[in-house]
Amino acid sequence: MSQINHHIAEPMLVAYAAGSLEYPFALVVAAHVSLCDECRARLGAHEAVGGTLLETLSAESVSATTRDAVFARLDADPDPETVYQRAGVFPAPVMAALKGRPPRWKSVGKGVRQNILHMGAEGSVRLLYIPPGRAVPDHGHRGIELTLVLQGSFSDEVGHFGVGDLEIADETLEHTPIAGNGAPCICLAATDAPLRFTSVIPRILQPIFRI
């Protein structure tokens, strides 16, 4: 794997360690951590600090109902999604979201394809397949967008992003990502609000493709 140059922002990594990050972003962070030694080490440090803090808290009594519910969950069979391992360019967290199956690509035009992994009130997360040299329509953001490169690369107004790199875009960024030459660019992208396209046709098609 090429050197990873773009990493998870510290506040987001802290939120992930605390378990307070919404699923779409948490999936992208988990996938990045599985690829990035640096962020995996930083995450371990945050989790160690969290464990130390828990040990300093005084014990609180819980009801019998709550205790029984916790033990029932501990005794239950493991979630089958946790057994999925890396397959091809897709790290284990992505394979879990895919339930061990290959992506079901759907065309969104001009060779670009997507597979929506989750869509909810808290946001969406999807896989994107972008042919070499193809540009994603120019767009801005109404919230946060995380984009993790799993194969190939892309470049935009911010810089170049290769395998393992994570771009964090917010309301201040308007960009036109262009896939690099070579292998098609496959990305894992999560947003907490719809994108803001500048061209008319993408805006018309936006409700259909749920972008």
Q: What is the per-residue pLDDT for 53?
A: 45
Domain count, the chain: 1
The CATH number for 168's domain is: 2.60.120.10
39, β-bridge pairs: none
Query: Which is higher by pLDDT, 196 or 128?
Result: 128
Provide the 3-class DSSP secondary structure of residue 194.
coil
Is residue 36's pLDDT more than 90? yes
Q: What is the mean pLDDT of residues 132-154?
A: 91
Q: What is the mean pLDDT of residues 128-142?
A: 89
Length of the chain: 211
Q: What is the per-residue pLDDT for 92?
A: 95
Is residue 210's pLDDT more than 90? no
Contact 136, 199 (CB under 8 A): no
Query: Which is higher by pLDDT, 46 or 55?
Result: 46
Provide the 3-class DSSP secondary structure of residue 149.
strand
Provide the 3-class DSSP secondary structure of residue 148.
strand
How much is the pTM?
Answer: 0.79
Task: Collect contacts of 43-46 with beta carbons under 8 A, ≥24 apart.
Answer: 43/13, 43/16, 43/17, 46/13, 46/14, 46/17
Q: What is the per-residue pLDDT for 180?
A: 96
195, β-bridge pairs: 141
Per-residue CA distances from 128 to 83, 113, 131, 190 (Å): 24, 6, 10, 11
Determine the structural domain holding residue 84 and report its residue range: 1-211
Distance between CA atoms of residues 126 and 191, nearest Å: 9
Neighbouring C-beta atoms of residue 134, cutoff 10 Å: 16
Q: Mind listing the pLDDT tens digit for each residue in 64-110?
A: 665 555 445 445 544 544 568 888 899 999 999 999 999 999 998 88
